[in-house]
Each structure stands twice: as structure tokens, then as C-alpha cells.
Structure 1
Amino acid sequence: MPSLSVPLVVVDDHPMVVLGLRTLFHQRPEVEVVAYAHDAAAALAACREHRPRVVILDVALEGSPIDGFALCRRVRAEIASVEVVFYTGREEIGIANQAFAAGAHGVVSKADASSDLLRAILLVSRGKTYTSPVFAARAEATEFGDLSPKQLAVLRHLAEGRDRKEMAQRMGIGEETVKTHLAEVRRKLGARTSAQAVAIGLLNALFDPAAAP
């Protein structure tokens, strides 16, 4: 019978952080740490060997030739099934946007409760996104260009996990029109993927996730 735990690789250059996460995850049956790494080379090797579902990654990786953003792009390029959650002590403006642009689906502050990190892991393992409230409060005020009401509606439906067919039925438009709206949403938000578009939308409060279109 296959394990229901989410396999993780944890990457952080601070031994005390790794020790803390080791203790946290050891007590949680929802996750299983398959490898720990302290630098980019070891992280890549661990991901290639273990093929985890989620990688927990710090932004700063002292002693590595690349930072966490570059490592995220390399991991995602090599193993498309891997999702990345950044777990960082940096809280300056723009960090979350950089993380999502690199291909991550989650960003958690080290100042957050451990339950927030676990929630982020479980959400991204199911293809969802998570942004720490710390980063939402520091969201970069970027001029994205105006999204039309239809495009905002599409973005909300996307955040709720609906596919193009469902969106078309709910909005009373054709699937090709939905596809066009999605392309425009990604273009205006500077997102490469639909998941990134949702994350940027949530991060910058472009829509109310609780409001049904």
C-alpha cells in the first residue's frame, strides 16, 4: 500500500533550522522527509535521487554558487512534478514575487507558526498555492495593468481549481474565450503559469478569494 505522506527534501544552510524542521516533521505523519541538504549541489542530488513531491527551500544558501531562486528554477526544470515552498527569514518587499516567478507555489516566513509551514506543504502538494501573511502585507505595489471584470472572474475561478470547461459553463462564454482571458491574465500579471497568476493575484489583493464570481 503506497504511503499517504508527502515526501519532502529540506534545503537550508543553517544546521539549527534543519534540526528544528527535523523535529517538527518527525512528529507529523502527513509528511516524510526523504533527504536534507545544506547547499545547492546536495539539494539537486537529493531531488534527482528521491524525486520528492515538495522541496522546502531557503532563499539564501551560503557557500553555494547559486541562490534559492536559481536552484528552484533548476529543480523545476529537471523534475516537473516537484513543487517548491520557500521557507525564509527574509521579509523584504518583492521576495514573494521573486519566489513565484522562479516557479515556487508557496512562500512561508520563518517567523510564522510551524502549522503555517505544514499547511503550505500540504496545499502545494495538491497543486494549490500559499503565501504567508507577512509577505502579503509587504506585497510590491506593481502596476499590472487593468484586469477586466471577466478576467478577474477567470482568475477567481482559477484560484478555486476550476478548469476551462467549468469556467465557461459558469460564466456563460465559450472555452476559447476563457482561454483568451487566461492568456491575458498571465500577460498582465507577468506570470508564466496559471498557478503563478493566482499567487500574484492573492499576494497583491487583486481579488477576494472568498467572493464567488
Structure 2
Amino acid sequence: MLLLGSLVNGLAIVFGSLAGSILRNISQQTKDTVTKGIGLGVIVLGIQMAFKTSSFIIVLISLCLGAMLGEWFKIEDRMNQFGLYLEKRFAKKNSNFAEGFVTASLIFLIGSMGIIGAIESGVSLNHQTLFTKSVMDGFMSIMLTATLGVGVLFSAVPVFLYQGLIAILASVIVRYIPKELLDMLMIEISAIGGLMIFAIGLNITEMAKIRVSNYLPGLLILIGIVAVQYFYF
């Protein structure tokens, strides 16, 4: 089944969120401590991923150009508006539903693991990488839901759609991409994703407030730059 890995990942987030909603009665101090621990782990993961790059200049240029486009299109604001729309329909007033939806979506979406896993699913029906990611996301969603609320549960939808779309596209177009180019893309995508994950970690620990969503166009810019570099230089 082509979309099995993506489906399992989405369901892991749903079940983790349901479990997290049960644990919402734990003390605020415990939630804060555990959440900041998750944030520290996310920071370390982001640093590890960022160091994989073979050309930090390309990553930095892509990130900055992506930020300009993201601010132009107001991606962060639109994601928050979508979260607030869901909040009005499904959540109690004065909740942090939008923050939970946006934060969880970014954590679960950004990074090479989901991309590589989805490509593996599309190319060879090997879902092992996405199964591993599902375990990680499931435990992460427990604490995120306990801290940020039910908005985390709805992040399962973009995760399934995002990874499922990559798997479908990979099953069609990957045969036309040279393996060397694909390897280059995975390394650099991991690096720029690592920087975004690092920023998310700073947000979770409340060390900074970074509009991470607005960096997302940088992924597309990076792919374009790496492709041009491969074919013409």
C-alpha cells in the first residue's frame, strides 16, 4: 500500500494526542519542564541536521530568500488564521489551539526523515523510515497535546497529506532524477530543515519567538539552486 507509512504516521499523532489530552491534568510545572526538555532535544536534532550540509552558503541564501517570500505571502499569519478557524469550530474559547496546530505541524513536517521516508514509500513501498518517525511523533504529540491542547491532533491532517503527496509524486518522477542529484538534495534539505527545527526548538523553550513558517519557501528555493548547480556547474 503506497500510503501506508503516511497513514500510520498520521494515526500515531492522533492516538498520541488523545493520550496527551488525558494527561492534561498533570501539573503545569511538570508540563513546562518536559516541554522545555523536548525543546532542547529538538534544538540538538536541528543542529545535527544543519551540520550535514556541504555548502552552508547555499542553505543560508535559500533560507533568507525563503524568509522574504514567506513574509511577502504571510505564510505564518495564514497558518495561524487557519488554526484559529479550526479553533472556532472545534475548541473552547481562549485556548491555545492555533499555537498547538501550527507548532505541531511544523515539528512533524519539517525535516528530511519525512521526505526520505515518503520517497522510500513511493519508490519501493518500504515504510520502515516512516514507521520509525511515527513512533517519535506519537510520543512527541503526547506532551505537545498535554501542553498546547487539542490543536496538535489536527496536525495529523497536513502530515498525512504532505507525506502522502511526496510518496505519490516520488512513485512517478523519481525514476527521472539522477541518483547523485537526489542524494545532494536530501543532504541539503536535511540541513535547511535542521535550521528550521533549531528555530522551533528555540520557540518551544521560549528562548525566542521566530516566525518559522515563513522560512518554508526556502525549501523550494534550495531545490532549485541545487538542481541548477548540478546540471550547469
How does the TM-score come out when normalised to structure 1?
0.25
Considering Cα pairs closer than 8 Å and 6+ residues apart, tell me whether 1 or 2 has the greater RCO: 2
Write 1 or 2 for the structure with the bigger share of helix.
2
